[in-house]
Amino acid sequence: MPSSVDNEDYKFQNRIGSRNTPSGSPSVVVPNNIDVAQLELETHQAQNFNDAATMKCRGAWMVKGSALSLNTHNRIRNIVEALKINPNPQKSMIPLSIGDPTIFGNLKAADETMKAVLRSVESCKFNGYAHTQGHEASRVAVAKYSAHQRIGGEIDPNDIVLCSGCSSALEYCILSLADRGQNVLVPRPGFCLYHTLTEGLGIEVRYYDLLPELNWRADLKQLESLIDENTAALLINNPSNPCGSVFDKEHLLQLVDICERHYLPIIADEIYEHFVFPGSRHVAVSSLTREVPVLSCGGLTKRFLVPGWRMGWIIIHDQYKRLGNAIIGLKNMCGRILGSNTIIQGALPEILTKTPQSYFDGVIGVLYSNAQLAYKLLKQVRGLNPIMPDGAMYMMIGICFERFPELKDDTNFVEELVNEQSVFCLPGSCFEFAGYMRIVLTVPSSMIEEACLRIAEFCEVHYKKDIRDQIEENLLDNPQINY
Judge whether 315 and 149 are in contact, CB under 8 Å.
Answer: yes
pLDDT at 237: 98
Helix crossing, 410-421 with 445-462: angle to 10°?
Answer: 110
CB atoms within 10 A of CB 46: 17
Task: Specify the DSSP element, H or E, that contains 460.
Answer: helix 445-462
In terms of phi and psi (left: phi > 0; alpha: psi -120 to 50; beta: otherwise), the region of 473 is: alpha
Quick check: 24 pLDDT over 50?
no
pLDDT at 58: 64
For the stretch 248-266, pLDDT in tens is 999 999 999 999 999 999 9
The pair phi, psi for residue 231, each rounded to 5°, is: -80, 125
For the stretch 407-439, pLDDT in tens is 999 999 999 999 999 999 999 999 999 999 999
Contacts of 98 (CB under 8 A, 6+ apart): 440
Q: Three-state SS for 266?
A: strand
Give which of 245, 234, 259 is closest to 392, Cα–Cα: 245
What is the mean predicted confidence (pLDDT) over 275-283? 96
Split at pLDDT 50, 70, 90, the class of 148 is very high
Quick check: 39 pLDDT over 90?
no
Burial class (CB in 10 A: 0-12, 13-18, 19+), 40: middle
Quick check: 238 pLDDT over 80?
yes
For the stretch 99-121, pLDDT in tens is 899 999 999 999 999 999 999 99
What is the mean predicted confidence (pLDDT) over 148-177? 95
pLDDT at 33: 41
Quick check: 16 pLDDT over 50?
no
Q: Three-state SS for 64?
A: coil
- Rounded CA gap, 434 and 456, in Å? 20
Domain ranges of the chain: 11-64, 75-105+358-474, 111-354
pLDDT at 72: 87
CA–chain centroid gap for 27, Å, is: 49
CATH topology of domain 75-105+358-474: Aspartate Aminotransferase, domain 1 (3.90.1150)
What is the mean predicted confidence (pLDDT) over 167-181? 96
pLDDT at 347: 98
Quick check: 17 pLDDT over 50?
no
pLDDT at 445: 96
Quick check: 35 pLDDT over 70?
no
- Rounded CA gap, 34 and 17, in Å? 10
pLDDT at 166: 96
Q: Three-state SS for 445?
A: helix
For the stretch 358-412, pLDDT in tens is 999 999 999 999 999 999 999 999 999 999 999 999 999 999 999 999 999 999 9
Split at pLDDT 50, 70, 90, the class of 309 is very high
Torsion over CA: 148, 151, 153, 156 (sign): negative
Contacts of 294 (CB under 8 A, 6+ apart): 265, 266, 267, 268, 285, 286, 317, 318
Indicate the average pLDDT of the chain: 88
Split at pLDDT 50, 70, 90, the class of 465 is confident
What is the mean predicted confidence (pLDDT) over 3-15? 33
Torsion over CA: 401, 405, 408, 411 (sign): negative
* Cα torsion through 349, 352, 358, 360, rounded to 10: 150
Burial class (CB in 10 A: 0-12, 13-18, 19+), 313: buried
What is the mean predicted confidence (pLDDT) over 181-204? 94
What is the mean predicted confidence (pLDDT) over 328-356? 95
pLDDT at 75: 79
Class of domain 111-354: alpha beta
Quick check: 193 pLDDT over 80?
yes
Split at pLDDT 50, 70, 90, the class of 9 is very low
Which range is most confident: 8-17, 55-64, 438-447?
438-447
Share of the chain above pLDDT 70, in %: 84
70 versus 232: the higher-pLDDT residue is 232
